[in-house]
């Protein structure tokens, strides 16, 4: 794995030091809540207002229910604030490297529950059907992302004024960009909401080993018993299809690498 990509994925899995601790299972039971942190306007993953509430919120509700608890949500604009507001978990974190045992209980990833990755999207007006064709197009990507760095080093002209996948998709649909690179989940959600004909998903153009990674739940300030319990829930809900059903509610789902 390239060093740049390692740093990029590691940044997804880390949160900054702060003050308010999360809780172990007995402490969650005492408050009758399993508390997650989520962004207030980040569909298809989460939103404060409207239904459906988002992939991470629905998964959090499933885990809370299986723990016999209610779901609590702390709305934060950036994930590094999670420790400060007393969240028990962040429902999506990139698995950089599977560990046999945690080296710290401050941030501990569960077993993966989903496979995620990046895809190229276009409208078909100026089709991008091969990797080489990207070099002759203007491709919208999130500034500082792995896609930005990878495409730039491979001679693809990139447009990097964007921060989010919805902004990239909007630029492609408007015709401002010839193509874009977004998460497969964001592309699936857009096609579900706006119609499949409005956006092509070219999921074979990017190397899945370079642009794919498993996603786990990040438990904050936890312990071995809590990790074991949540891992048991994830295993059971992968097996009975409940997690896949939640993912498909938002337009796309792939099982983690170990489940395929």
The top-scoring range by mean pLDDT among 4-13, 55-64, 170-179, 205-214 is: 55-64
Q: Identify the CATH assignment for 116-210 out of 3.40.190.10, 3.40.1410.10, 2.40.50.100, 3.90.470.10.
A: 3.40.190.10
Per-residue model confidence (pLDDT) at position 233: 98
The answer to whether the beta carbons of residues 108 and 122 sit under 8 Å apart is no
CA distance 13 to 34: 20
CA distance 42 to 102: 29
List the structure tokens of 179.
Answer: 């193509």
Q: How does pLDDT run across 199-223, given as a tens digit for each residue? A: 999 888 888 888 899 999 999 989 9
pTM: 0.83
Which whole number is the average pLDDT over 178-205? 90
Q: How does pLDDT run across 22-37, given as a tens digit for each residue? A: 588 999 999 999 999 9
- Return the CATH superfamily for domain 3-114+213-259: Periplasmic binding protein-like II (3.40.190.10)
Is the confidence at residue 7, as pLDDT, over 50? no
Q: How does pLDDT run across 31-90, given as a tens digit for each residue? A: 999 999 999 999 999 999 999 999 999 999 999 999 999 999 999 988 788 878 889 999
> Across the chain, what does the average pLDDT equal?
86
């Amino acid at each position: 794995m390239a060093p740049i990509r390692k740093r990029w994925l590691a940044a997804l899995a880390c949160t900054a030091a702060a003050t308010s601790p999360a809780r172990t299972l007995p402490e969650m039971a005492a408050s009758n809540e399993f508390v997650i942190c989520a962004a207030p306007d980040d569909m298809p993953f989460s939103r404060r207002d409207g239904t459906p509430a988002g992939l991470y919120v629905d998964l959090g509700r499933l885990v809370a229910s299986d723990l016999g608890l209610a779901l609590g949500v702390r709305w934060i604009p950036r994930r590094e604030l999670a420790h400060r507001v007393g969240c028990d978990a962040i429902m999506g974190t990139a698995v950089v490297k599977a560990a046999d045992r945690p080296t710290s209980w401050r941030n501990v990833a569960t077993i993966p529950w989903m496979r995620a990755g990046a895809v190229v999207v276009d409208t078909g007006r100026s089709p991008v059907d091969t990797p080489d064709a990207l070099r002759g197009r203007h491709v919208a990507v999130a500034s500082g992302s792995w896609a930005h760095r990878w495409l730039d080093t491979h001679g693809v002209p990139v447009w990097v004024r964007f921060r989010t996948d919805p902004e990239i998709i909007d630029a492609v649909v408007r015709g401002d960009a010839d193509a874009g690179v977004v998460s497969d989940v964001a592309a699936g959600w857009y096609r579900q909401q706006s119609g499949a004909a409005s956006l092509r998903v070219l999921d074979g153009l990017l190397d899945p080993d370079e642009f794919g990674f498993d996603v786990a739940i990040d438990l904050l300030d936890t312990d071995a018993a809590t990790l074991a319990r949540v891992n048991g829930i994830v295993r059971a809900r992968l097996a009975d299809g409940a997690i896949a059903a939640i993912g498909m509610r938002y337009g796309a789902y792939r099982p983690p690498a170990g489940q395929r």
